[in-house]
Amino acid sequence: MRKIGVLTSGGDSPGMNAAIRAVVRSAIYHDIKVVGIKKGYEGLINGDIEDMNLSSVADIIHRGGTILRTARSEEFKAERGFQKALNVISIFGIEGIVVIGGDGSFRGAEKLSQAGIKTIGLPGTIDNDLAYTDFTIGFDTAVNTVVNAISNIRDTSTSHGRANIIEVMGRHCGDIALYAGLAGGAESIIVPEVPFSIDDICKRLIQGRNRGKLHSIIILAEGVLKDSHEFAKQIEEKTGIETKLTILGHIQRGGSPTAFDRILASRMGGRAVELMMEDKTSRVLGIKGNEIIDMDISEALSIKKEINKNLYELAKILSI
Ligand code: ATP
């Protein structure tokens, strides 16, 4: 293995920079040349590629976002765009590519690998929606951002005796809502994977108020409801408790990565280079019980993500 490329693709997540740094530095340590491919598969198609050295990744371990930038490329999905990408890979003499991104990015890596390019995928997404790994890079930071927001909202919520709905990211996967809700002591957690009843939520609010609770937090994963403003209105009408809605939005995608995410990204980045050297490619990296694992890309993508029912039930028990 003489030369590898690294790219970030799809939605960005805190810790992507730590992962890039680990790939670049590990490769250089092992005398492998490394290039940075800008803006994901779009940059691969356009040859937007630059040599990386030790200094290219200096002073980035603590930064959110991705220095390589990211994109979603429809062109890459089409045969013509894909062929262009293969040509660029050949022209630049790239023998392997480390793809940092979510499930869509992994589908792209799977396609490259079927075309004979050595690929390794690192799970970079705040959503934690990849079933083969316990955690993805960026999830822990996003959860901590939400927990901080819950604490801030709880302060003012208590002063006014209000209920607060906090809408968090996770269109198809409720992990951010679940973990942040548990850590933030939310009264109710609404996720796409579990049906809910508004009457049940209202009952919990009323019971809480009757035993003297001054605040109530409801964590709502985005995409569960069409109109969360309407939902807040309905709760207020049914309970008589003033109910405010806060939509956290993109605040969850940025910020300095937590130590957990930096360590996870560093471990995975280092392991990706080792796997390239062992010629064990077409793999994605994950973490299971604090061990870094690797799995065939197609196999990993075929596993269906499910919500952790035990955590969900625990959160419910603890919020009575
Ligand atoms: P996030 O989890 O943050 O959404 P993602 O990696 O899932 O990240 P996507 O937009 O789904 O984000 O995918 C990123 C890019 O990967 C796409 O823009 C496209 O270039 C490529 N890609 C996605 N699906 C495929 C596919 N089936 N075949 C080839 N390339 C794909």
List, for residues 77-104, the tens digit of each pLDDT value. Answer: 999 999 999 999 999 999 999 999 999 9
Tell me the pTM: 0.97
Asked if residue 163 belongs to a known ligand binding site, the reply is: no
Contact 105, 40 (CB under 8 A): yes
Asked if residue 127 belongs to a known ligand binding site, the reply is: yes
| pLDDT given for residue 214 in this prediction | 83
| pLDDT given for residue 59 in this prediction | 98
φ, ψ dihedrals at 50, nearest 5°: -135, 150
Neighbours of 208 (CB within 10 A): 20
Residue 213 in this model has a pLDDT that exceeds 90: no
Whether ligand 1 lies within 6 angstroms of the CB of 138 is answered as no
| pLDDT given for residue 186 in this prediction | 95
pLDDT tens-digit readout, 163-177: 999 999 998 999 999
Length of the chain: 320
Alpha carbons 97 and 109: distance in angstroms, whole number: 8
Average of per-residue pLDDT values in the chain: 97
Instruction: Return the structure tokens found at 275.
Output: 């796997």
Helices (H) and strands (E) in the chain, counts: 12, 11
| pLDDT given for residue 320 in this prediction | 80
Query: Mean per-residue pLDDT for 247-276?
Result: 98
Residue 158 in this model has a pLDDT that exceeds 90: no
Alpha carbons 317 and 320: distance in angstroms, whole number: 6
Whether ligand 1 lies within 6 angstroms of the CB of 305 is answered as no
pLDDT tens-digit readout, 136-146: 999 999 999 99
127 annotated active-site: yes
Neighbours of 207 (CB within 10 A): 12
Alpha carbons 170 and 101: distance in angstroms, whole number: 16
Whether ligand 1 lies within 6 angstroms of the CB of 102 is answered as yes
Which residue has its alpha carbon closest to ligand 1 atom 27? 107
Contact 270, 26 (CB under 8 A): yes
List helix spans (H) across the chain.
Answer: 16-29, 40-46, 74-77, 79-91, 103-114, 139-160, 175-184, 198-210, 228-239, 259-277, 297-302, 309-318
- Among candidate residues 12, 48, 127, 140, the one labeled active-site is 127
Complex ipTM = 0.96
What are the chain's domains?
3-138+257-302 (3.40.50.450), 140-253 (3.40.50.460)
> Ligand 1 centre and the CA of 104: distance in Å?
3
Whether ligand 1 lies within 6 angstroms of the CB of 111 is answered as yes
CB neighbour list of residue 93: distance below 8 Å, 6 or more residues apart = 2, 3
Asked if residue 170 belongs to a known ligand binding site, the reply is: yes
Asked if residue 185 belongs to a known ligand binding site, the reply is: yes
Residue 134 in this model has a pLDDT that exceeds 90: yes
Query: Mean per-residue pLDDT for 299-304?
Result: 98
Instruction: Return the structure tokens found at 284.
Output: 């994605």
> Ligand 1 centre and the CA of 82: distance in Å?
13
